Amino acid sequence: MKVRIDLRPRELVEQKKNGVNIGLIIVTVVFLSFIVVSGTTFVYGYMTSRSLQTQVTRLNDDIAILTAQNRRLSNEIQRLSEQEKMYGNALALLREELPTLEFLEAVEKALPKGVWLSSVTQREGKAEMKGFAYNENDIVVFARGLIDTGIVPNVDFPVTRRTTLNGAAVVDFSLSCGVGTIDTIGKTGEKK
């Protein structure tokens, strides 16, 4: 058996026992630092992971909502484009037919009792009328009445000739005039 004997003075031995082991302290501090940093990193990573999972869930919900809204908006755009096409067709029909109807109404209002028409021909922006009157003055009154309606912007000088119809003396006339468009008809309607 071996025995170890320390021959140093007692004070030196006690001082050595109570001495600070710097290596042990450094290892302990490094180990504790590792544990603290690892724990903090783990907690921070866990919290970040939970936060990201919540954001992913929220973004997936937003994607689903936006996809549904996109489908609804696409359907609405398609519906509105069909409606716009229908309005375009209606406007085109209105541009074609409204001036004719307005013109015929103006002719009816401007026609005095002593004048009657045998034919009315209307083309785009122009109309020709043929008819009979008892005298030339009634034709002039009719032409002025057409201009006063606002639908007819101008009336050409009428071509007349005296004739007999069913034994009565009448004036056969031919009259040309301009017919307003839907845009000019609307403006004259606002002025009145």
**Which CATH number covers residue 29?**
3.30.1360.100
CA-to-CA distance for 191 and 188, rounded, in angstroms?
Answer: 5
Give the pLDDT of residue 106.
86
Number of C-beta neighbours around residue 147 at 10 A: 16
Asked if residues 166 and 143 have their Cβ atoms less than 8 Å apart, the reply is no
Higher pLDDT residue, 85 or 93?
85
Place of tokens 């009157």: 133
Spatial CA neighbour of 134 closest among 162, 106, 174: 162
Give the pLDDT of residue 58.
96
Is the pLDDT at 69 greater than 90, yes or no?
yes
Within-domain flag for 38: yes
What average pLDDT does the chain have?
86
Is the pLDDT at 189 greater than 50, yes or no?
no
Within-domain flag for 2: no
pLDDT interval class at 182 (50, 70, 90):
low
* Integer CA distances (angstroms), 65 to 70, 75, 76, 78, 137, in order: 9, 15, 16, 20, 76
At 13-49, the pLDDT tens digits run 776 666 567 888 899 999 999 999 999 999 999 999 9
Within-domain flag for 127: yes
Higher pLDDT residue, 140 or 101?
140
* Integer CA distances (angstroms), 63 to 50, 54, 69, 77, 184, in order: 20, 14, 10, 20, 52
Boundaries of domain holding 167: 8-192
Within-domain flag for 66: yes
pLDDT interval class at 114 (50, 70, 90):
confident
CA-to-CA distance for 62 and 68, rounded, in angstroms?
Answer: 10
What's the domain count of the chain? Answer: 1
Within-domain flag for 1: no
CA-to-CA distance for 13 and 60, rounded, in angstroms?
Answer: 72
Is the pLDDT at 179 greater than 90, yes or no?
no
Highest mean pLDDT among 50-54, 94-98, 169-173: 50-54
Percentage of the chain with pLDDT > 70?
90
Give the pLDDT of residue 16.
66
